[in-house]
A = this chain, B = another copy of it.
Amino acid sequence: MRDSDGGSPNNRNYHNSPNLLSNPLTRGGQGRRRTVTPMGDRLGRMRIVSLAGGIGGARFLRGLRAAAPDADITVIVNTGDDITLFGLRVCPDLDTVMYTLGGGINEEQGWGREKETHVVKEELAAYGVEPQWFGLGDRDFATHIVRSQMLAAGYPLSQVTEALCTRWQPGVRLLPMSDDRCETHVVITEEPGGGVEADTDGSKADVRVQGSTEPTNKRRRRAIHFQEWWVRLRASVPAESFALIGIDTARPAPGVLEAIAEADVVLLPPSNPVVSIGTILQVPGIRDALLAKTVVGVSPIIGGAPVRGMADACLTAIGVETSAQAVLELYGADLLDGWLVAPEDAGVALEGVRVAARPLLMHDVDAAAAIARAALDLALDLAR
């Protein structure tokens, strides 16, 4: 437990509020600008900012924390995947990072809580309440109940996240990309018959797109929430485009631009470059702030395939090839200073970006730490 005295400007106390529902506004640590000392704060700690999506980001961060245990790490997390289910606000990426770094993650599936039960979900199904395709466990429900209660009481998501982290002690500072609601929707075309084909539980099933009550005789373009496309349809229906509802007026959450400004280096983990990192970069002000920094990215694509997940479906939707080279170009040389790829992608190149190659599979925490260390070393070398 760190000292809770907020008197020193270098003493950050983001995660030690004694009472979850006490007023976070009265706590220290927020909104103070400090004199920037190159390569570390006054205590000599390196300041790292990382963007993050869900599973890939969370595992990379667990490695980063192990690789740089004394660093001051701020993580800006995608909230475009957030969704309101059963009246409760669910933040999948924030929770995946929080549970992973806090030791409560279901290691096997990479999201949700370990030793999870599903009584509430079964009961909701017994009431006939939709949707039933999103897997919420009982332990996870408690997080959403607390979050929703605090949001309803007027706390912004950034303060709610801080409060939840008093329990999880992730060892990094977690910030939502924005306190403003901003949700990714996916434009798809519904085939005649009103259904879309999806491979559910190994068998082809006719999955009716939510909200469609009548079969239709013509193809119909519709926008559905990202989670419905990702979880329910398993990205099996081609995405024609993504619509980030609310992104134009979204503001970076308090502390986001400050953390970037004070960062010694910025790392982009191997998260989804379109719907995770790409979404964060579209929050007005964030990409611009990053342009001034030393930024190193870790490729989420190895030898033409996503390390994990369905990033290829997202890249295809925006007309980008699924390759380490294409994602490098997508991010661009204005944003990236360094690009860490797998050995099989060692040939990628973009003027103004230094490329380094090493194995990128995060088998375990040690492997993730080695990858994070390599990304950090590249960044520190570039920042020198």
Q: Is A4 in contact with chain B by the CB < 8 A criterion?
A: no
What residue in chain B is nearest A21 (Cβ atoms)?
B129
What residue in chain B is nearest A150 (Cβ atoms)?
B87
In the assembled complex, which residues on chain B have CB atoms less than 8 Å from the CB atom of A87? 145, 148-149, 152-153
A145→B120 contact, CB < 8 A = yes
Partner of A117, one of B138, B143, B145: B138
Q: Is A344 in contact with chain B by the CB < 8 A criterion?
A: no
Q: Could you tell me the distance in whole angstroms from the C-beta of A124 to the nearest C-beta in chain B?
A: 5
Cα A117 to Cα B142 with chains together (Å): 14
Interface core residue of A141, A153, A164 (most chain B CB under 10 Å): A141
Q: Could you tell me the distance in whole angstroms from the C-beta of A126 to the nearest C-beta in chain B?
A: 6
In the assembled complex, which residues on chain B have CB atoms less than 8 Å from the CB atom of A88? 145
Q: Is A334 in contact with chain B by the CB < 8 A criterion?
A: no
Count of chain copies: 2
Q: Is A8 in contact with chain B by the CB < 8 A criterion?
A: no
Q: Is A7 in contact with chain B by the CB < 8 A criterion?
A: no
Within 8 A of B (CB), among A51-78: none
Chain A 81-93 per-residue mask, 1 if CB under 8 angstroms from chain B, else 0: 0000011100000
Q: Is A166 in contact with chain B by the CB < 8 A criterion?
A: yes
26 contacts between A and B (CB under 8 A): A19-B128, A20-B127, A20-B128, A20-B129, A21-B130, A86-B146, A86-B149, A87-B145, A117-B119, A117-B138, A120-B141, A120-B142, A123-B138, A123-B139, A123-B142, A124-B142, A124-B145, A124-B146, A126-B142, A126-B167, A127-B142, A127-B146, A128-B167, A129-B149, A138-B138, A141-B145
